[in-house]
Every structure is written in structure tokens, then in C-alpha cells.
Structure 1
Amino acid sequence: MCAEKGRPTCLPRNSVSIHLHKDVDILLKELKPCARHLRATLGSYTDELRILERLYYKNANQHRAALFFKRVSETRRYGQKFVALNISEHVDRLYASFFGLTTAMGVNQKRFKGTWTHVPTGFSISFVLERVSISCKFLDKMSSQLTREYQHLTLAMQSGAFVQLIVLFSAICSRMSTLLSELSQVLRNTSRICDRLLVILDPHHSSQRGVSAAILCTTSPPSDANLITSTVDIRSGLTHLAENTSRSEFSRFTRRIQCAFRC
């Protein structure tokens, strides 16, 4: 097992001083729900990205040259790169390493209910901490990209052209922004836990590592003012749509919006 490939190297439990076992117990209890929340939230984000991908390919030929569609394309690329980081898998592996496992996928959850039997090396923890840092940087870029995209969608919506598609993209954009805010908070907690584990399990490595001990996501949740503005913009677009389409067409479209906002 090598940390370079994302697989943590494990040491036996007795390699840790017995007076530190309680501290490790506490941090593992915090890491478990953190890893679960990260997995679930990233899964929801991936679902939204798949919807965006499908809409992109279905409308690429017609709208490829449109400015709002180019913004959508940029969001799609950022999303693909973020998912490719596999940050949830790295955190799951770190948690599984405390039980002598190299992965949490396909493992009976009963294996994680007992007492931890191993600990990852300082290098393995630093590797995950570094991946968290990279993921945070992507979150910052994606948050800025989503803000710019929403502004362009709002302007494009005012023209009244292709309003159905633009409102749908706005709905997906809003949902993705909410999920990014949740991911930001989860990664903050993950960074804090990993840093404390590193200090406890390998103080020397902690002082020498190249990853900062204060890695935190700077992505902040959207403000209430932004949410209100977003709601007004989408309501305006829906009002315009209702006035210019039949009742049956509008009903079908609102069902699609509800799917995009699904929880």
C-alpha cells in the first residue's frame, strides 16, 4: 500500500501511546459522520452534474455559440474536474485505514463498529489533507464561476428567448451552489480532524509537512440577499413563461424544475 496512489499505509494500534487512544477515539467519532455527509453531498452534486451534462448535449448544436451556454460549459468542466478528485474516496480510505482496510467500498459496515486496530502514517494523513486543500481551491473557483453564470443567465432570461432552457439552467445552478456550500462546511471539518490526527499520531511529521495546518475552505454560503435576488429572478422568468405558453406545457416544465431542485 502506498500513499502516493491514495492508499494509506497502516501501522498497528500498539504503535500509538496508550494515553492517546482516547483522543483518537474522539476524532474517529467525528470523522465517521463527516465522511458519510461528504459522500452523500458529493453524490447529490454528481447527480446535478449529470442532469447538466444531459441538457448540455441535447442543446449543444443549437446554442453552442450563445454566451450563456458557454458559461454553462465552463461550469460543466469545473464540475467534472472536481468530481475527478475523488475526495470522498480519499476520506473513506483514511477512515477505513484505522481498521486495517485499504477501502471502505463494498465492506460490511459491521467491520467499522468495533475498536480501531490500526493507524495511518503521518504521510498518509498529510496526503488526504493536501487533497482536501486542492478540493477547497476548486470549490472557490466553482463558487465564483456559478456566480458569474447566474448573472449571465439572469441577463439572458430578460430577453425572453429560450426562457424555458435558461430557467432550467438557473434552477440547476442554484441547486449546485447550495451543495457547494454544504461541501465547503464538510471539508472544513475534515481538514480540522485530519490536522488534529496528524498532530497526535505524528508530531514530527506535522512540524515538517508542506501542507498548512490551517487549511480551510474560504467558500462561504450564499447570503440571504443573494438568495432573495435569485428567487425574484427565477419567479420573473417563470411568470414570463406562464404568460407565453399553454397550461399543459407550463405544467410539464414546472415538473422538470421540481426534479432539478430535488433534495
Structure 2
Amino acid sequence: MTSHITSKKWFPKERIDKKAHADHDQNLIRLGIYRRSFAAQSKLWIDVAILDRLFYKNNNQHRHFHRFRRTAEARRLLKRFKRLALDHMMNDLYACFWNGNDSHSHQQQRSWLSIPCRELCEFTMQKLISAVVILDKLQVVLVEIYREYTTLFRLQHFMSMAMVHMGICARLGTLAHKWAAELDDCYTVLQQWHLAFPVASKRANRYECLPDTMTRQRQIASKWSENRVSFKKPVHFESYLTHGASETAAKPSTPSLPPSDSPMNFFSMAEKDNDDLGEVLKSIEPAMN
């Protein structure tokens, strides 16, 4: 999804479409709230830095385990999300209401003087869509990492590392869900408002962001999660240790064997007990002998 961004990013205030039904002052206030919110996500980036540190410290010892590869997958998604630079993008858009001068936009002492072009708003909305899709994928991966380290914690292996990963995944999952909701709301405000702004280019290759574009892109990206375990059997971060782990510990350790006339489904057994395939095979060998 690409738009043609011209050098002319803003126009005089008088160029706004008078027929558009929009509360421009209220929309600008909401845009400023989103701008400050996107720039104040320090908690998320602190957890990301801790996750990076854990990865570097344990890479040599744990890099061959599938749980650690999922941690690497989460780091890749976080790097892609960080490269979008949402805070700088919102600052550039917000400054266009003051003739591109960001100093006046920070002072909040003068009425807005200009308006951004429609292409810049469409470019911003494309980035918002990309950010939400990445956060949706990140939440799925975080659930899988949480489940893997819950299994590791239950087995009493590397318990300190497991607890740190579980805490980081829980916080990152909550923050990612909250940020995705804010990005979706920001897209809704900007999509309805940008129709009142003038077009800077007459070229026909512009990408129009419709009211349902965000929803359609999220639905397309959701197919990526359909074959993953965490999509079929989600885990509640806060209650899994309290309820799920205690129920699992109360179960007898003897595995239940499938009927003799049916093939053994190792993958369903692994998903049922939240263990990996190797652990399931190892646990049923004594019973089969």
C-alpha cells in the first residue's frame, strides 16, 4: 500500500471543504491526545529492552529450543513495529495544522492555521493499519511464548527465566491490545476527517482508505493465526497460573492412551496438555512398554 506524497503537505485553512460534516476543533483535540499517547509508551519499550537483553544473554544456550525461536519471532515483530515510528509520524501530521511549524503545535496557544493534504492523511492511515496488523500478530505470538514458558515453569526447569518471560509476555500482551485499540480509534477519526482536506496531487494512483479498510486488513491478517495453537485455544494471562496450572497439577501423571483400533494423535495430546511433542512421546513410552 503506497501513496504519492508530494512536497506540498499542507494548505491554508481556507481550503477546507465547508460541506464536510465534521467538528474540526474536536477532531484536532483528539488527534493531539493520540499524538501524546503514542509518544508516551515508555512501559512497552522498557519491556522490549528487557526481552532483548534476555535474548542476548540466553541465545547460546537456548537457541535450539522452539520456545526461544518464538521469542525471536516476537522480537522481529517488535522491530518492525518500532521502525514505523508512529510518534514521529503523528508529530509531522500534527505540525501541518500550524504551517509545518512544530513549535506552535506544542505551545497550544494559537488556533490552527493550515490543514494537511489528503495524501498525507492517507499515508498516515496506511501506517496505522500496518501497526495494528503487527500488534495483532504480536499478541498471538506472545500467547504462545507464555504457554511455552508456563510448561517450562511447571517442569521446574529454568524457573527464573520462565517467570521473567511470562511476566514480560503478560505486560506486552496487555499493552499491545490497548495500543491496537487506540490505533483503530485514531484511524476512525482520521478517516472521517480527511475527506474535508484538499488533494495535493491529481494523479490517479492514490490509495483511498475507506471506513472498512482497517477491518478488512485485520481480517486478512487473521488468517495467519488460524493454524496456530494459541488461536484455537487461547490462554488468559492473569488466570492461567491460578486455575490452569493448578488443575494440571491435580491431574494424575499417567497418560491416557488412545483406543487400540485408532491411530495415535500425538499433536492433539500435545495441545491438550500444553506440552511439546517430544515431552508427550517421552511420557507415553513407559505406558506402551
> Normalised by the shorter chain, which TM-score bucket?
0.7 to 0.9
Root-mean-square deviation over aligned CA pairs: 3.2
Match of residue 45 from structure 1? 44
Match of residue 211 from structure 2? 213
Unmatched 5+ stretches in structure 1: 237-263
The equivalences for 1:2-81 within 5 A come to: 9-17=9-17, 23-41=23-41, 43-81=42-80
Match of residue 284 from structure 2? none
1:55 CA displacement: 1.3
1:96 CA displacement: 1.4
Q: Residues 97 and 118 of structure 1 are in contact (CA less than 8 Å); yes or no, is this contact kept in structure 2?
A: yes
- Which of 127, 131, 135 is the matching residue for 2:127? 131
Greater fraction helix: 1
In 1, Cα distance between the equivalents of 2:243 and 2:163? 9
Match of residue 245 from structure 1? none
Q: Residues 104 and 110 of structure 2 are in contact (CA less than 8 Å); yes or no, is this contact kept in structure 1?
A: no
The equivalences for 1:169-180 within 5 A come to: 169-180=165-176
- Which of 226, 233, 236 is the matching residue for 1:226? 236
| Partner SS for 1:11 | strand
1:74–1:8 distance in 2 versus 1, CA, 3 Å: farther
Unmatched 5+ stretches in structure 2: 223-233, 247-289
Match of residue 198 from structure 1? 194
Residue correspondences, number: 225
1:172 CA displacement: 0.5
- Which of 147, 161, 166 is the matching residue for 1:165? 161
User: Larger Cα Rg: Structure 1 or Structure 2?
Assistant: 2
Percent of aligned positions that are identical: 21
1:20 CA displacement: 6.2
1:111 CA displacement: 3.5
| Partner SS for 1:94 | helix
| Partner SS for 1:98 | helix
Match of residue 282 from structure 2? none
1:13 CA displacement: 1.0
| Amino acid in structure 2 at the alignment position of 1:213 | P
- Which of 94, 118, 126 is the matching residue for 1:122? 118
Q: Residues 153 and 166 of structure 1 are in contact (CA less than 8 Å); yes or no, is this contact kept in structure 2?
A: yes
Residues 160-212 of structure 1: CA distance to partner in whole angstroms, max 9, x if unpaired?
1111001101101111001101111110121011112112224999xx74323
Match of residue 180 from structure 2? 184
1:234 CA displacement: 10
Q: TM-score w.r.t. structure 1 length? A: 0.74
Q: TM-score w.r.t. structure 2 length? A: 0.68
Q: Residues 16 and 198 of structure 2 are in contact (CA less than 8 Å); yes or no, is this contact kept in structure 1?
A: no
In 1, Cα distance between the equivalents of 2:245 and 2:154? 12
Q: Residues 31 and 190 of structure 1 are in contact (CA less than 8 Å); yes or no, is this contact kept in structure 2?
A: yes
